[in-house]
C-alpha cells in the first residue's frame, strides 16, 4: 500500500513558499514532487524518484531561500547535499535546520 503525500522540505523566499512532497512506494522507494504558493502558470509537476532529483525541482537557487521545515527523515540527506555546495548561502541557517 502506498503512503499519503507528506511535506518533506519547505523553503520560503520573498515571493512565497515552495514545498517538496514525498510518499513511500515501498520499503526502499520514494517518489517526490514540488508544490508552490508562488503564483506561476500552473503546469503539471513531474514526479521524480531520488532526493537529489527532488531538490533540483526547486530550481538552482533553492539553497538561497530560507528553510521553514525539513522532515526529520530527510535532514541528514539535505545537509549532506548542501555541505558540498558552494556559494554565499546562509550555511548557519541551513545547518541549524538540518542538524
Tens digit of pLDDT for each residue in 17-61? Answer: 999 999 988 877 899 999 988 766 566 678 999 999 999 998 888
Q: Which residues contact 60 (CB under 8 A, 6 or more apart)?
A: none
Mean pLDDT, to the nearest integer, of 70-74?
95
Query: Which residues 6+ apart lie within 8 Å of 72 measured at CB?
Result: none
1 belongs to a structural domain? no
Please state the domain count of the chain. 1
Evaluate if residue 3 carries a pLDDT over 70.
yes
For residue 70, give its domain range: 6-98
In a domain, 81, yes or no: yes
Residue 69 in any domain: the answer is yes
pTM, full prediction:
0.86
Q: Which of 50-54, 68-72, 85-89 has the lowest mean pLDDT?
A: 85-89
> What pLDDT does 1 receive?
56
Q: Is residue 93 part of a domain?
A: yes
Q: How far apart, in whole angstroms, are the C-alpha atoms of residue 72 and residue 64?
A: 21
Cα 27 to the chain's mean position, in Å?
A: 20
pLDDT recorded at residue 41: 58
Amino acid at each position: 500500500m502506498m503512503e499519503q503525500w507528506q511535506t518533506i522540505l519547505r523553503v520560503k523566499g520573498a515571493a512565497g513558499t515552495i514545498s517538496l512532497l514525498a510518499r513511500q512506494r515501498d520499503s526502499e522507494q520514494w517518489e517526490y514532487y514540488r508544490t508552490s504558493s508562488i503564483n506561476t502558470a500552473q503546469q503539471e509537476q513531474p514526479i521524480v524518484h531520488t532526493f537529489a532529483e527532488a531538490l533540483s525541482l526547486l530550481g538552482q537557487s533553492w539553497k538561497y531561500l530560507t528553510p521553514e521545515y525539513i522532515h526529520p527523515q530527510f535532514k541528514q540527506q539535505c545537509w549532506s547535499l548542501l555541505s558540498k555546495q558552494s556559494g554565499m548561502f546562509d550555511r548557519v541557517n541551513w545547518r541549524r535546520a538540518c542538524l
